[in-house]
Amino acid sequence: MPQAATEQPYNRPDRRHDRKPFLSRLMKQLDVQLMVWPSIIIIFVFAYIPMYGVLTAFMDYNLFTGARIFDNPWVGFKHFAAFFDAPDFGTILRNTIVISLLKFVIGFPAPILLALMLNEVRHMLFKRFVQTITYLPHFMSWVIVGGVVMSLLSTENGSINIMLQKTGAIDESINFLSIKDYFWTILVSTNVWKEIGFSSIVYLAAIAGVDQHMYEAADIDGASKFKQIYLITVPSIMPVIIIFMILAAGNLLNAGFEDILILAQNPLLRPVSDVIDTYVYRVGLQNQKYSYAVAVGLFKAIISIGLLTLANYLARRSGNSLW
Amino acid sequence: MKGMGRAVWKPLSIGLLLISLIACSEAERGQPEPSDEAPEAAATETPRTEDGLYALGREPLYMTFYAHYGYYTMPKWGADPSSAWIRDKLNVHVKGVSAEGDGKLMLQKMVAGQQLPDVVWGERDADLERLREAGLLVPLDEYIAEYPNLRQWAGEKIINLLRSPDGHIYYFPNYYSNKPYGNAGFVVNKRIYRELGSPKLETTDDLYRYLLRVKTMFPDAVPFETGLAKEGQGIDQLFSSFKEDNFSFTRYFAVANGERMTSIYEDAGFRESALFVAKLMREGLMTQDALVQTEYQVSEKLMAGKAAVYASADPMRMIMTADAELSKADPEDGYFFIEPIYKEGLDPARIYPGTYNVLGWNAAAITTSANNPEAIFALLDWMTGPEGSAVQMWGPPGEDGYWNGFKEDGITPAFTSKYSSDPQGLAEIQALSGDMIWVGNTGYLDKTKSEYEATLPDEDQNWATYWQQNITWRSQGDATPFIKLIPPSSIEEGRIYLKLKEIWLAARAAAMFGRTDEEVLEVLDDAHAASVEAGFDLYLDYITKRWQDNLRVLNND
């Protein structure tokens, strides 16, 4: 069978009716299986096995028991109750929801817009240049990005303050990183700046897959560029957008961690910057209240699953669901 | 069949490649460095000297060393002349365990994974105390009684202070000293000071007027630079200006008041200093980035000569390079230390911008994971003694070394001619000593160091040593009675402490940005009320008791 190497048995449309024994099917797909199994094993080892640790949310965990977690006393929902009763609970939940919604509403469409715009750029060199420049920040860690942002915004010597003063927009330097009202804006725009280029790669790839004949046909029918974007490009990449939207919904409660930790250095900002993850880090790891931190994290995970399911349900009605 | 073969071979070879990659990386990680890892040798008789002490060097001593600091990485053992000498002569092989940038997390991981290093080196604070409470540290009392050096150089008082509530000693102190040390204080920019007519700069009022003039005359400069005010730098020094005998500072959110520790929020001196700080902030007289800036930003301002007055718990580190940089361009430029600023009416001799305690900086503790704790103690004791100190400070002894044996007294190194002819090489050895001296003997090192400095011509004398001897050491307060006050988080008081700390950090930031005096005082009053609600009184009782315990130990000798 000379074509065996090019044939793709695993992708045959009639695989549901393939009633060959399991093992021989496995052997046939060996190359694909070999690619999948390492990931499955890694997920199993690092995501599923440690999951028994969530049991400590219902215990008073003592670090010195190590992995023998069943030596700890069971305390039921004590830590959950403590979290719901904590004076910071309202603030933290509000910040988590507001920051993640802002990131979603602004950060999600931004790369799509950039991709649409880049797609219309006809000068190849310029397009590549912009693409490279915009996705570079993605590869820098938050410590570096945070350092750059903090130097830009600093009151003394900060480029932004100097620029605003030189142009006469302000008289006195503004202490950007110590004023609560500015924090969300700074946080969200820094995030968009860091991730916009990298996220847009997926959409650019999807756009590249759109059938060029449709544009030619639309041209002949006299559709303007905007019409073409609106009526051809966007609907064509809609499945990709929806899949990413569902995934983003699952991340809704991930308001961010490193970015907030690094940008909100000033304790003054805590009323607007404290989110579930920073709270877990501060209270759980730094103050060593492990069980409490696990309970808070579990609470977040449960809400996230709910959001993901809901988003998927909504998407299924439009025919583009994840499962 | 040929095609079939390819279909099987391709995935197989991919699989093999993957496996070999994994195996390779495992091998790399698992491969012990021959000199640093303990071989699984059968236990043999412990070698001893005639007086029954462990004889270093007769058998190889392997140990792992973990420093509980995110920023610290142990230099490779044996890469510098001093540790290479120790490795070769004493057959000691130390392997560093890195904190991976986050000491707190790393220690927790090692505890939970039950894989402790042989030696933990860090602050004598809650993290190490938890190890002790869990019975993971080896008591050192017997060894201290047997081995000569720590007992002799630290003395009875320091050793008694080291005692834990259970009566045993678990910590081997580092840089213990009976004399004041430390660098906290106020530094002034020479050029700005001169151009403003070198005015009197002694009281807080002088300082305020001076800062005002800096702001008008040098709009480009930062009048008062604090360093990382988030950690109290600069503003703690201002607090000291408003309070005599301020030994406990802000670290316990409480001040000594007669026989008791009482709320810092109600302390007149602290309230005044909070108003002063808020005024400086409001009027743009101190760095507006105080709470958010990084060390790099601070250093940049200092290097550019942009800070008019700089105060911090340890200005020396950054100001030393900044001074060198500025005075290179213009010898008249640079920085100088001033006597601590005090509020008019207070006794300047009782103003301490920084404190020290006789136990020194931090401590080394031997864990129960160590195979032979006595051998490790013997090594630490040797390191803190004259020979160990000298080797780590001045390199290996010998005719081609910087010193060759001791003088008649048995402790003063007999320096060779290379000592004065090759300061560069010596500086290289000493640059590492900060990271490699774990059980430093301040008394011994300082004495020999200042003798060395005295032999140098004036212009070669170390800038830092000059100001330490003339200003900073003299103006550090003895906070020994206030050590070990923080309650462990395993008890109620410890949990309260953590809440109080959150309240404190938030209040200090809010007070700094208070728009009016009333607002500042309100922040402090609210913080006090919130602290009381969190259990302030219970906590204050606890630290009062610990403080009084310390006083009792100190007064007994």
Give the other-Cβ count within 10 Å of B414's Cβ. 12
A51-55, B46-50, B336-340: which range is least confident on average?
B46-50
Burial of B361 (0-12, 13-18, 19+ CB in 10 A): middle
Q: Output the CA torsion sign for A14, A16, A17, A18.
A: positive
Whether B534 and chain A come into contact, CB under 8 Å, resolves to: no
Residue type, B512: M
3-class DSSP string for B196-233: CCCCCCCEHHHHHHHHHHHHHHCCCCEEEECCCHHHCC
Q: What angle do CA B468, B469, B473 make, to 5 degrees?
A: 60
N-to-C CA span, chain B: 93
Is the CB of residue B379 less than 8 Å from the CB of residue B373? no
Burial of A127 (0-12, 13-18, 19+ CB in 10 A): middle
Domain presence at residue A289 = yes
Model pLDDT for residues B411-438, shown as the tens digit of each residue: 888 888 887 778 778 778 877 777 889 9
Q: Which band of pLDDT confidence, cut at 50, 70 and 90, is reported for residue B335? A: very high
Q: Which residue has the tokens 């910057």?
A: A273
* The token pair that represents A173 in the structure block: 């330097």
Nearest to A38 among B6, B18, B509 (CB): B18
Q: What domains are there in chain B, each with its CATH number?
A: 47-177+360-468 (3.40.190.10), 185-352+485-555 (3.40.190.10)
Chain B neighbors of A270, CB-CB under 8 A: 506
Domain presence at residue A51 = no
Q: Which of B107, B291, B292 to mutate to test the interface with A (most CBs of A within 10 A)?
A: B292
Burial of A27 (0-12, 13-18, 19+ CB in 10 A): middle
Segment B230-246 mean pLDDT:
93
Q: Distance (Å, rounded) from C-alpha A82 to C-alpha B495?
A: 14
Could you tell me which residues come within 8 angstroms of residue B530 by beta carbon, excluding any fewer than 6 positions away? B503
Nearest to A285 among B10, B105, B296 (CB): B105
Domain presence at residue A69 = no
Q: Which band of pLDDT confidence, cut at 50, 70 and 90, is reported for residue B41? A: very low
CB contact under 8 A, B292 and A265: yes
- Divide the 323 residues of chain A into consecutive groups of 10 and give the mean pLDDT of each group: 45 55 85 91 92 89 82 90 89 91 91 92 91 91 90 87 88 86 93 92 91 90 88 90 84 82 86 90 82 91 86 80 71
Give the residues across from B342 on adjacent strands: B203
The per-residue b/e assignment along B169-203, b for 16 or more CB within 10 angstroms, e otherwise, is: bbbbbbbbbeebbbbbbbbbbbbbbeebeeeebeb
Domain presence at residue A162 = yes
Q: Give the residue on A whose Cα is nearest the Cα of B102.
A: A286
Give the other-Cβ count within 10 Å of B253's Cβ. 25
Q: Which residues of A touch B (CB under 8 A)?
A: 1-5, 30-31, 34-35, 38, 63-64, 66-67, 147, 150-151, 154-157, 172-173, 175, 177-178, 265-268, 270, 285-288
Domain presence at residue A80 = no
Q: Output the CA torsion sign for A307, A309, A310, A311.
A: positive
State the number of CA atoms in the 13 A half-sphere of A283 facing the CB: 24
Please name which of A62, A78, A80 lies closest in space to residue A70, comparing C-alpha atoms.
A62
Segment B508-531 mean pLDDT:
94
A2-6, B520-524, B545-549: which range is least confident on average?
A2-6
Q: What DSSP designation does A233 have?
A: I
Q: Which band of pLDDT confidence, cut at 50, 70 and 90, is reported for residue B28? A: very low
Alpha-carbon A144 to chain mean position:
19
* The token pair that represents B26 in the structure block: 């495992």
pLDDT at B15 over 60: no
Could you tell me which residues come within 8 angstroms of residue B260 by beta carbon, excluding any fewer than 6 positions away? B540, B544
Q: Which band of pLDDT confidence, cut at 50, 70 and 90, is reported for residue B557? A: low
Helix-helix angle A78-85:A89-107, to 10 degrees: 80
pLDDT of residue B459: 64
Domains held by chain A: number: 1
Whether B528 and chain A come into contact, CB under 8 Å, resolves to: no
Q: Which band of pLDDT confidence, cut at 50, 70 and 90, is reported for residue B410? A: confident
pLDDT of residue B193: 95
Is the CB of residue B288 less than 8 Å from the CB of residue B281? yes
CB contact under 8 A, B289 and A154: yes
Domain presence at residue A14 = no
CB contact under 8 A, A285 and B114: no
3-class DSSP string for A175-223: CHHHCHHHHHHHHHHHHHHHHHHHHHHHHHHHHHCCCHHHHHHHHHCCC
Residue B297, classed as helix, strand or coil, is helix
Q: Distance (Å, rounded) from C-alpha B116 to C-alpha B107?
A: 8
Is the CB of residue A108 less than 8 Å from the CB of residue A246? no
Domain carrying residue A258 = 86-317
The per-residue b/e assignment along A237-275, b for 16 or more CB within 10 angstroms, e otherwise, is: beebbbbbbbebbbebbbbbeebbbbbbbbbbbbbbbbb
pLDDT of residue B12: 55
Q: Which of B289, B310, B491, B523 to mutate to test the interface with A (most CBs of A within 10 A)?
A: B289
Give the other-Cβ count within 10 Å of B476's Cβ. 22
pLDDT of residue B4: 47
Residue type, A193: W
Q: Distance (Å, rounded) from C-alpha A147 to C-alpha B297?
A: 10
Is 0.90 topped by the overall pTM?
Answer: no
Q: Which residue has the tokens 């190194």?
A: B413
Domain presence at residue A95 = yes
Which residues 490-519 of B have a C-beta within 8 angstroms of A? 498, 505-506, 508-510, 512-513
Is the CB of residue B65 less than 8 Å from the CB of residue B121? yes
Please name which of B118, B295, B269 lies closest in space to residue B204, comparing C-alpha atoms.
B269
pLDDT of residue B454: 73
Q: Give the residue on A whose Cα is nearest the Cα of B307.
A: A156
Give the other-Cβ count within 10 Å of B257's Cβ. 13
Radius of gyration of chain B from its Cα atoms, rounded to whole angstroms: 27
* The token pair that represents A115 in the structure block: 């991709």
Is the CB of residue A281 less than 8 Å from the CB of residue A257? yes
* Residue A118, domain CATH: 1.10.3720.10
pLDDT of residue A6: 46
E strand residue ranges, B45-145: 61-67, 92-97, 119-122
**The pairing of beta strand B119-122 with beta strand B61-67:** parallel
Is the CB of residue A192 less than 8 Å from the CB of residue A106? yes
E strand residue ranges, B422-497: 476-478
Give the other-Cβ count within 10 Å of A101's Cβ. 12
Please name which of B228, B119, B126 lies closest in space to residue B174, comparing C-alpha atoms.
B119
- CA B474 to each of CA B245, B442, B446, B461, B480: distance values in angstroms, whole numbers, following the listed order: 14, 16, 15, 19, 16
* The token pair that represents A171 in the structure block: 């008289």
Nearest to A34 among B11, B296, B513 (CB): B11
Domain presence at residue A225 = yes
